[in-house]
Amino acid sequence: MTPIEQRRLHLADGSVCGMARREGGRDGTSPILYLHGLLGSRLEPFLAEPAACATAPEALPHPLVAFDRPGYGWSDPLERPSFALLAARLAAALEAAGVTPSLIVGASAGGPCAAALAARFHARSDARPPALLLVGAVGDPGLVRSAPMPMRLLGWLQDHGRLRGFTVGQVRRLLTRPAVADPILRRMLEAERRGLARITDLDALARHLAHSLEAGLRSDGRGVETDIALLTRPWDFAPADIRGPVMLLHGRADGVVPPEHARWWKSVLPDARLEWLEDQGHVGSVVAARAFARAWPGRP
């Protein structure tokens, strides 16, 4: 397995962005860019390691690049919550890394972030736009606020500023302690056991998740607070501006981001291809995304 390169990118505006990269494919192939979910990090897309799988995951035909989104891990926070500012920061990080992605993958809370970046690409370039793959992606803020728990909690935290900071701080302290995080993650994976049939060692996968959580939550929690604001307030970009190929990948058994979110994305991106993953929950969808990123014919 090719090792993961990790480094801090120093951007033209003085900010810093954390990056992880694994090489793949032939020299000169365009990378796939991955944007992690809530509480994630640049390490999230490297979860499906051979030790945890019945068979080692097939090598991707492209290099895989992942950033810590602003406020997570090694990345500096935004000056204020804004998808436009976030997309501009990510575009600057791509420029600093010398990367032009062929495919942008957004998982969970990273879904609308990936969509905002894709919309920026499509509005500012006459070149062929990158494809977009949204995996278990969070949709319209109205769906977030009306969803069952735990998602509905995001809206409540956004509306109660003092409690939001306290709650994020407590979550951060707990989930960066392996003795607390590991059993929580193990129980979450057990609940998805049917959809994770190809994973032979759930403990190994839980450890990978815990490692990603710890890497993302090393900072002061500003990334989590930014996500809460972005996901619960009207967006400052239009998904309709996306003009490249789009695939929506969602587990029918996803209890974290309910399937209604995939239907909403399909309604605002009617030309998108919607693929349902039977029996898959939230984590299972992210693990399965590797195969779709490899095989999807819409990818440039």
Q: Which domains does the chain have, with CATH numbers?
A: 5-295 (3.40.50.1820)
Contacts of 143 (CB under 8 A, 6+ apart): 258, 260, 261, 264
Taking CA atoms, 98 is separated from 72, 93, 101, in Å, by 22, 8, 10
Phi, psi of 255 (to 5 degrees): -95, 0
Residue 11 CB neighbour total at 10 angstroms: 17
For 23-38, the pLDDT digits (tens) are: 876 666 788 999 999 9
Taking residues 183-207, report their average pLDDT: 83
Percent of the chain with pLDDT over 70: 89
Determine the length of the chain: 300
d(C-alpha 63, C-alpha 59), whole Å: 9
| Closest to 274 in 3D by CA, of 255, 287, 284, 260 | 260
pLDDT of 51 strictly over 80: no
Taking CA atoms, 290 is separated from 104, 199, 216, 264, 285, in Å, by 12, 14, 21, 23, 9
Provide the pLDDT for residue 192: 86
